[in-house]
Chains A and B, each alone.
Chain A
């Protein structure tokens, strides 16, 4: 059965309304996107949506109790809670620099968990 879905592209803040015609996993037509990013976004959205996961990780001896982190690339939406649990169980020792890899290849997604800021050691 051919289905139609209207999506809001989240590749950038413009938020194009993209209409996709598809049958199962097969894309028939994509309309309404202002750029090629909208095309690939809509394809992925139908087949398997993925997102960047931004969260925090516990820090030992840091200036703050937490350090913000993210996945280096988008991971499947369905893996989010599992990834949160792995990150939530980990404690990292300060100092940390922005870009430091804190967890490698989370859930075999090919994405690493990296620090998104410098976290100096606790100021005593």
Chain B
């Protein structure tokens, strides 16, 4: 077994890993290695050929491959070691990373710091349990995206999509443009899980019906999918049998959620947050295991890659600080709490010494769609400040800045709570 030592090991060469590696390198850590299981860098972005990326980070609109290419070029311009076709099998809390590839066999890499950037994966048909047969033609929206955009096979001609997550909406348009008849997008909930702009550009532009409060109640077909039965659901999300109708289809795409991929994190004894499915982190994106950081979709599922980049820069910067040994914890720790209508807040705790930062961005999601809201922050029960937004939707992450000065003025706080409330009279 080959043994090597590295300052920083980044697991995953998608947008999170690339940004973390680049930032740590630019902050003085030159001994960086990226481990990627695919044959190229970029993560999921190369198959996200649509536009809409980069508006926050680059202030211009890019496609997924373009966004990835910029970071790939950045990494290639630097002396960052990249191992492709390399599968990481184990990570220990002592920061030993075990990986293998065809060329070198089994590797042990001892790292001063590790950034977990493994991303997420899709929930599959097995996870949602649809009654009926199990024919070919039932696949996740992301798999269909890979077939269509990378491999060059459009997976069907008559399509129904279950779930209105962004990948489902994007694939509705994509398959329509490739000549398929996209019959409907069914969403169990009374609102879409995707970005509003995707509902407009992908469904409304092409007259694809969005059927809210609907779900697939049966899969029909031997060998190949022949039809799906869809039904309306009641307010308890239970299908109403008399509303059932059959739609002829050879393809059912599932866009029913993403799960952070944390098998490796668990091996390193990293504690996960059951709400996000990702590690519990402080504002430097350090997990409970010293020197192990997490960023991107492995930490919590993002809707915009721009926020992945911002978060990964934070992780890369703090990993670099940690390696340079000028990384101090205050000893006290403020817990971030998700209050009314907030499903989660990242980071879950604030425990680092201030340093040179001006503000800490708090990432959060609402648990239900709201209009005309006040976003309120409280420190140990006392209101810190609040500001207004015209609306808040579960599909769109909210970034709330917490100023360093506010924190400094507070001194020791045990709890910072955020709630998001609709204004009175609304």
> In whole Å, how far is B47's beta carbon from the nearest beta carbon of chain A?
9
B152 contacts the other chain (CB 8 A): yes
Q: What chain B residues lie within 8 Å of A51 (beta carbons)?
A: 201, 205
Judged by a CB distance under 8 angstroms, whether A52 is at the interface is: yes
B195 near A65 with CB under 8 A, answer: no
Q: Does B6 contact A (CB under 8 A)?
A: no
* B201 and A65 contact, CB distance less than 8 A: no
B266 at the interface (CB under 8 A from A): no
Q: Return the contact of B46 from the options A10, A65, A81, A117 (Cβ within 8 A).
A: A117
Alpha-carbon distance between A43 and B152 when the two chains are bound, in angstroms:
37
Q: Report A35-64 CB contacts with B as 1/0, cut-off 8 Å.
A: 000000000000001011111101000011
Which residues of B are in contact with A by a Cβ distance under 8 Å?
A: 40, 46, 49-52, 55-56, 61-66, 68-69, 148-152, 177-178, 195-197, 199-201, 205, 303-304, 390-391, 396
**12 more CB-based (< 8 A) A-B contacts, given A65-B150, A84-B178, A116-B63:** A8-B196, A8-B197, A13-B197, A15-B195, A52-B61, A54-B51, A64-B150, A65-B151, A68-B65, A81-B177, A116-B66, A117-B65
B151: chain A residues within 8 A (beta carbon): 65-66
Q: Is the CB of B205 within 8 A of A54?
A: no
Bound-state Cα–Cα, A63 to B38, Å: 13
> Closest chain B residue to A85 by CB distance?
B179
With A54-B51, A118-B69 as known contacts, state yes or no: A13 contacts B195, CB within 8 Å.
yes
Q: Which residues from chain A contact B303 at a C-beta distance below 8 Å?
A: 13
Name which residue of chain A comes closest to B55, CB basis. Answer: A12
In the complex, the answer to whether A116 meets B65 with C-beta atoms within 8 Å is yes
Cα–Cα, bound, A10→B51 (Å): 11
In the complex, A98 has a CB within 8 A of chain B: yes
Q: Which of B66, B200, B201 contacts A98 (CB 8 A)?
A: B66
Known contacts A98-B69, A117-B68; is-contact A15 B196 (Cβ 8 Å): yes
Interface residues of A, count at CB 8 A: 30
Q: Does A107 contact B (CB under 8 A)?
A: no
A77 interface contact, C-beta 8 A: yes
* A80 at the binding interface (Cβ < 8 Å): yes
**Which chain B residues border A56 with CB–CB below 8 Å?**
49, 148-149, 152
User: What is the interface of chain A, defined by CB distance below 8 A to chain B?
Assistant: 7-8, 10, 12-13, 15-17, 49, 51-56, 58, 63-66, 68, 70, 77, 80-81, 84, 98, 116-118
Least Cβ–Cβ distance between A87 and chain B, in angstroms:
10
Nearest chain B residue, comparing its CB with the CB of A45 = B200
Distance of A103 from chain B, by nearest CB (Å) = 16
Q: List 13 A-B contacts (CB under 8 A).
A: A12-B55, A13-B55, A13-B303, A13-B396, A51-B205, A56-B149, A64-B150, A65-B152, A77-B205, A116-B65, A116-B69, A117-B69, A118-B69
Report the minimal beta-carbon distance from A108 to chain B, rounded to whole angstroms: 20
CB <8 Å contact, A54 and B63: yes
Write the nearest CB–CB distance from A60 to chain B, whole angstroms. Answer: 12
Q: Report Cα–Cα, A94/B51, bound state, in Å.
A: 23
Judge whether A52 and B51 touch: CB under 8 Å. yes
| Cα distance, A77 to B206, chains bound together (Å) | 9
CB-defined contacts of A13 to chain B, threshold 8 Å: 52, 55-56, 195, 197, 303-304, 396
A17: shortest Cβ distance to chain B, in Å?
8
Question: Does the CB pair A55–B49 fall under 8 Å?
Answer: yes
Residues of B within 8 A of A7 (CB): 200
Complexed CA–CA distance, A81 and B206 (Å): 11
Assembly CA distance A77 to B56 (angstroms) = 25
Which of A13, A63, A70, A77 has the most chain B CB within a 10 Å cutoff? A13
When the two chains form their complex, are residues B195 and A70 in contact, meaning their CB atoms are under 8 A apart?
Answer: no
Assuming the contacts A8-B200, A13-B195, A15-B197, asked whether A68 and B69 have C-beta atoms less than 8 A apart, the reply is no
**Among A16, A66, A84, contact of B177 (Cβ-Cβ < 8 Å):** A84
Query: A63–B55 Cα gap in the complex (Å)?
Result: 29
| Interface core residue of B40, B197, B205 (most chain A CB under 10 Å) | B197
Closest CB-CB distance, A8 to chain B, in whole Å? 5
Say how far B153's CB is from chain A's closest CB, in angstroms: 9
Query: Residues of A contacting B56 with CB < 8 Å?
Result: 13
